[in-house]
Amino acid sequence: MQSQRGNIEKASTLINELRQLVSIQGDPSQRIAAYMVEGLAARMAGSGKYLYKALKCKEPPSSDRLAAMQILFEICPCFRFGFMAANGAMIEAFKGERRVHIIDFDINQGSQYITLIQTLANLQGKLPHVRLTGVDDPDSVQRHVGGLRIIGQRLEKLAEALKVSFEFHAVASKTSLVNPSMLNRKPGEALIVNFAFQLHHMPDESVSTVNERDQLLRMAKSLNPKLVTVVEQDVNTNTAPFFPRFTEAYNYYSAVFDSLDVTLPRESQDRLNVEKQCLARDIVNIVACEGEERIERYEVAGKWRARMMMAGFISCSITPNVVDMIRKLIKEYCDRYMLKQEAGALHFGWEDKSLIVASAWK
């Protein structure tokens, strides 16, 4: 007991010394180190869960937290390209259909669908009627201020202005409790399921006897969709023990912070907001929390591929015209961004580090 107390005191001293050396205003390595140190401090204090929740709940949807999320998708192109790849695969699946129903289990701020509606408006020929069902966790911070309803109204207004036939339907439920009867499917609709930055929040067999991650994929398969799109961060923070997980997170987020430095100036308030509200939250959770309290459980592309195949899905490559369009856009940003195709999936990365992977399944 005595030696444990000594270790904690020693660790606290080290953390205080480290805090003097790092800065959220510094260069990328100083900034990521600042957030990793806070994660370690929260881990020691056993306060990781509360810090994670505080970073999430402080911001109602109309304020900075939303803005920061939007900005992240704009300034960190890998996130944006992931959405574009999924949208491109969806639009291909629209061909020949009169009515399409998209089910999204985590619609976030609706950024992906703003882009989808704008893209549809620019297409030639007859477009299908698009119905979007968004699942809204009743515990989410957005719920109290109208949450999904406001996002749905925003999308419907945009679609109306652009003359795209569109309707929105919200399902108020925790993702793990959603069953097919809640999804309001109609005959004659082509069904598309979109999982963008969502599956990694579902606990798997390493956390609980009920494997919610694979259960959700099997449920999606039972809906007999024409297409399923998956966009995820390509990093292993799910089952890795603490030290390898810490190293993995450091290497991954170092690349993300590096890429942000190229896009936004050091003194930018936008960059600071994005790092504090979107990225720091994930880092703290990965470093400070264990068991059910660790929500940010990312997996690498090969693991997602195995899960999808185990649920009965078959990979379908994202079409060359979508890949070419994204390749052209990447050139407009910075030549340190990379795009590679591997086993039917698209990997978006910074230099040699894969950050985001997008894939399509049927």
Q: Which of 3-17, 105-119, 234-248 has the lowest mean pLDDT?
A: 3-17
- Over residues 198-213, mean pLDDT: 93
Token pair for 119: 């893209």
Each residue's pLDDT tens digit, 174-193: 899 999 999 999 999 999 99
> Does the pLDDT of residue 66 top 60, yes or no?
no
Q: Which of 109-113, 144-148, 203-207, 338-342 has the lowest mean pLDDT?
A: 144-148
Report which listed range, 121-125, 244-248, 277-281, is most confident.
244-248
Residue 47 CB partners (closer than 8 Å, separation 6+):
288
Identify the H or E element spanning 170.
strand 166-172
Each residue's pLDDT tens digit, 118-163: 999 999 888 999 999 998 776 654 444 457 888 899 999 999 999 9
- Say which residue the tokens 């015209």 belong to: 321
| Residue 22 banded pLDDT, cuts 50, 70, 90 | confident
Each residue's pLDDT tens digit, 79-93: 889 999 999 999 999
- In angstroms, the CA 194 to CA 120 distance is 17
Residue 271 CB partners (closer than 8 Å, separation 6+):
75, 260, 261, 263, 264, 265
3-class secondary-structure state, position 340: strand
- In angstroms, the CA 6 to CA 8 distance is 5
Whether domain 81-234+298-361 has CATH 3.40.50.150: yes
Helices (H), the chain: 2-21, 28-45, 48-57, 64-75, 77-94, 111-121, 147-161, 212-222, 242-263, 269-274, 280-288, 301-310, 320-333
- In angstroms, the CA 279 to CA 73 distance is 12
From the list 163, 288, 296, 313, the residue with the least C-alpha distance to 235 is 296
Higher pLDDT, 204 or 71: 204
> Does the pLDDT of residue 68 top 90, yes or no?
no
> Does the pLDDT of residue 63 top 50, yes or no?
no
Higher pLDDT, 356 or 11: 356
Map out the domains of the chain as residue ranges.
2-71+237-293, 81-234+298-361
